Amino acid sequence: MSSEKIAIPTNDKVNVEEHFGQCRQFAIYTIIDGEKNGVDFVSPPDHAPGVFPQFLQKQGADTIIAGGMGGRAIDLFKGRNITVILGASGNLEENLNTYLRGNLDSKGEPCAHHKHDGGCED
């Protein structure tokens, strides 16, 4: 039996929050043998450099699916053996199902061209 935990940032429990640093919750999906086995919505601690990667590692996340993220954050996730998939938008379940079918590839580039409150850099 294989299992995986996939984290997706959200503010409304329906759609991907495209700037993960601004999310109010993470949907943490438990996947067993390629099938969704449940979801928990967890509120992260206040956003600060390095906090979300550490928090999601403690939640057991193997993968994060997000809209945008800075290069430093990507490195922090990868340093914790968490796969990063960028470019997601829209419905959480649709993104999850596309990923489970093997059709969700990281298509986003790291956010580097701008900064904003609670932004992408970490």
3-state secondary structure of 20: helix
- Helix runs in 10-122, H state only: 51-58, 71-79, 92-100
- Residue 110 φ then ψ, to 5°: -60, 140
Q: Reply yes or no on whether the pLDDT at 121 is more than 50.
A: no
Whole-model pTM above 0.85?
Answer: yes
As its CATH architecture, domain 3-100 has: 2-Layer Sandwich (3.30)
Condensed to tens digits (0 to 9), the pLDDT of residues 32-48 reads: 999 999 999 999 999 88
Q: What is the largest CA-CA distance in the chain?
A: 43
Residue 70, amino acid: G
Q: 15-29 pLDDT, tens per residue?
A: 999 888 889 999 999
CA-closest candidate to residue 76, choices 87, 64, 88: 64
Distance CA(15)–CA(52), nearest Å, equals 19
